[in-house]
Structure 1
């Protein structure tokens, strides 16, 4: 049982150790745990609150790495399922001395994109005080969006206060119109919405 929970896609991030070298030319990378929602869970845990992370990873080295990293950060993994059929997402990110770094994702068709919403029926909401949601997870696949909407219904049923970060990722949506309509609809279920200035 935890005070806080969130759902998302965790990613194994390979960050270049070489400054201002393109991803094509970089040879040395360091591996990190990444993902917008998991970053929030880490912050909540560091503030001394119990936290649970909901997702699906592959039965692969990246999935094992992610679960190990969550344990190191005292984040609960009771609602993480593992898939032997789909892989865990990962990404490459270069290191720059100025401007925004380049990022390349390997996430399409990932284990999280095939999330089985039956996991959500196992959640114990009795001590959950806050849930954090983001617009990324419902963008990765129709299955993920269906599960996301089901989780919202469970949070509302259990009267859990919810925050929502639009976290817009236009490249994950079929069109801007679909992104705007879907994100606005999902945001309307949250008590607190946290857009960036441009997202707003």
Structure 2
């Protein structure tokens, strides 16, 4: 049942505040691991898929802890490179009672941003069923942009499904115009595109899920799934009529970071297992809801048993508007 998936991104050391208040006043932190693509990798691995995660870390304590974490999650580290010239990036995250926490990133010139195309020239993409990419890695440097397009192009040639989460990080780009152009150029090379509604508005200039989906379908994307927050998601494909799929009620939101990555893992895993588009999006909505109720970027990502129990106990809330 498990499929082979490869993702590429930047894994960083994450220092989460142990107390409320601005980061500059906090004295104690708990160390963890962060990274949008790594979160998706963890989510897929816990659901029983064979996952390969590609990145570059520094030859430093953070880099070594990241590699150890990857292997502890039963994710292949065969594409995890180590640099003696560049350090591992890191983030600091606020503890908040509600809303999105402030995250400070220290990643300029990091080891991951200096990854090279030559490191992947011998990769056999025919052994992968899915290649997953995000706009975060695309934004880090000219090198990561080149590698992102290489993964999309070679993966598609080999017959893999290419999934893409725009995951906008405006602060990583020189301008919004460059961000929009670069994100949409890569999206056009992908089969499944997973923007949030606010991201879709920025990237396409359209306001409704229907219009945003049509924009990418006209570019040749096969399936667009738009995250709508607490309302669930909207999905439309080349051969799939547009459908609104409701989400799951979350009684208490503990941490919003990583929910979108959990959603991506749910949708991608469902599609790769042959589930219907609707059931795959329901799975994405469920994992996103579980993540919202869990602290940390990836600690709450469920096993298959936990996921099935959550869906059964909550009751699927799928309906079409």
- TM-score per shorter chain, which class? over 0.9
Of residues 141-150 and 43-52 in structure 1, the stretch that sits farther from structure 2 once superposed is 141-150
Deviation at 1:125, TM superposition (A): 2.6
Q: Is the 8 A contact 1:133 1:163 kept in 2?
A: yes
Q: Secondary structure at the match of 1:168?
A: coil
Structure ranking higher on relative contact order (CA contacts 8 Å, 6+ apart): 1
User: 1:128 offset after TM fit, Å?
Assistant: 0.9
State the SS of the aligned residue for 2:25: coil
Contact kept? 1:79, 1:123, Cα under 8 Å: no
* SS of residue paired to 1:33: strand
The answer to whether structure 1 residue 5 and structure 2 residue 34 are counterparts is no
Q: State the match for 1:174 in structure 2.
A: 174
- Runs (5+) with no aligned partner, structure 1: none
Residue of structure 2 in register with 1:94 after alignment: 94
> Which has the greater radius of gyration?
2
Q: Is the 8 A contact 2:126 2:160 kept in 1?
A: no
Q: What is the root-mean-square deviation in Å for CA atoms of aligned residues?
A: 1.1
Task: Give the unaligned 5+ runs of structure 2.
Answer: 201-321
Q: Deviations over 1:126-157 (max 9, x none)?
A: 43111111001110011111111122221122
After superposing the two structures, state which structure 1 stretch, 180-189 or 112-121, moved more: 112-121
Cα distance, 1:120 vs structure 2: 1.3
User: Would you say how many aligned residue pairs link Structure 1 and Structure 2?
Assistant: 198
Normalised by the length of structure 1, the TM-score is 0.96
Segment drifting more, 175-184 vs 123-132: 123-132
Residue of structure 2 in register with 1:58 after alignment = 58
Kindly provide the CA deviation profile for residues 93-152 of structure 1, in whole angstroms up to 9, marking residues without a partner as x.
110112221111110000011001112123233431111110011100111111111222
Q: TM-score, normalised by structure 2?
A: 0.60
Structure showing the higher strand proportion among its residues: 1
In the aligned structure 2, how far is the partner of 1:131 from the partner of 1:148?
10
Task: Please say if residues 58 and 86 of structure 1, whose CA atoms lie closer than 8 Å, have aligned partners that are also in contact.
Answer: yes
Partners of 2:126 and 2:159 within 8 A in 1? no
The structure whose residues are more often helix, as a share, is: 2
